[in-house]
Amino acid sequence: MVYIGGMEVWTIQKLLGWMVEYFGAKAVDSPRFSAELLLAHALKWKRIELYTHFDAAVGAQRLAELRGLVKRAGEHEPIAYLVGATEFYSMTIRVGRECLIPRPETEMLVERAIDLLRKQAGEQQVLDLCTGSGCIAAAIAKNHPAAMVVATDLCEKALAIAAENVRTHGLEARVRLLCGDLFEPVIAGLDAAKFDLIACNPPYVSAGEYEKLDRNVRDYEPKKALDGGADGLDVYRRIAARVGEFLKDDGALLLEIGCGQADTVRGLLEAAGLKNIQVFKDHAKLERVVMGRK
């Protein structure tokens, strides 16, 4: 133990050890990773710097700031909201309580989208419905310089966060954010004649599942980002009803889906006249993305 002037000193190493134990006792997800993220955020350091300064003492002011964050994390407030950012597709994406925290599963949809766009020549028109933090729109634009992206969301506050992400990643010239209900804000012919690709990670949690969500999700993430109606499929039905108007011939629709939704969503896309429908599994072997072509 290190003491200065009779006072116990909190070194990085000691603080981390204590936080890991505290988070473990509170059943916080990934206690070590969470502790490192919070401590690095409170110190305004990179995570790696914690390891290169293991014996450094943490000052009283930083300790006081950290204390509040640790308490909130112990009450299951998501770490991404506490630090205001998360990693998505190797990009730092800013998040706030008004938008869903991007999930690693959604990277699959982005991977498929980029793969598809790279097989086509020239400028590609992309529409990202339900953009939230803008993570899908930004990741596609960042990784495919020929993509021109329009992204829509109902929530103005989420779009303000998306705008920050678009700015931070230098994508203002190729990502346009529009506020409104699904396709509603898109002016055909002005925003794009039609789209080569439409991507969407909609709210898809059913009413029954919503009640059973982990409390760090249900109590903190916005309900309108999760609630897909009684059976979770409301938004898929609405997308299927209009997607044909907005896709170019042979254009692709990519939808993230929840557990057990693949067959119904496939049926909806077939009924909408889409063809070559494929379902892709994520790294956990769960059906996660449905794709169809006009």
Site string for ligand SAM, 24-53 (x = CB under 6 A): ------------------------------
Q: List the one residue from 113, 158, 186, 289 that touches ligand SAM (CB under 6 A).
A: 158
Site for ligand SAM in 163-182 (CB under 6 A): 181-182
Beta strands 287-293 and 247-256, pairing class: antiparallel
Asked whether position 152 contacts ligand SAM by CB under 6 A, the answer is: yes
- Of the pair 124, 133, the CB lying nearest ligand SAM is at 133
Q: How far is the CB of 157 from ligand SAM (least distance, A)?
A: 9
Asked whether position 232 contacts ligand SAM by CB under 6 A, the answer is: no
- Of the pair 22, 280, the CB lying nearest ligand SAM is at 280
Q: Which stretch binds ligand SAM (CB under 6 A): 55-63, 75-83, 195-203, 280-288?
A: 195-203
Q: How far is the CB of 100 from ligand SAM (least distance, A)?
A: 4
Asked whether position 131 contacts ligand SAM by CB under 6 A, the answer is: yes
- Of the pair 49, 219, the CB lying nearest ligand SAM is at 219
Q: How far is the CB of 149 from ligand SAM (least distance, A)?
A: 12
- Of the pair 69, 135, the CB lying nearest ligand SAM is at 135
Q: List the one residue from 106, 165, 206, 216 that touches ligand SAM (CB under 6 A).
A: 106
Q: How far is the CB of 173 from ligand SAM (least distance, A)?
A: 21
Q: List the one residue from 201, 206, 216, 261 that touches ligand SAM (CB under 6 A).
A: 201
- The CA angle 228-233-234, to the nearest 5 degrees, is 70
Nearest alpha carbon to residue 76 among 28, 139, 18: 28
Residues that bind ligand SAM (CB under 6 A): 99-100, 102, 106, 130-133, 135-136, 152-155, 158, 181-182, 201-203, 224-225
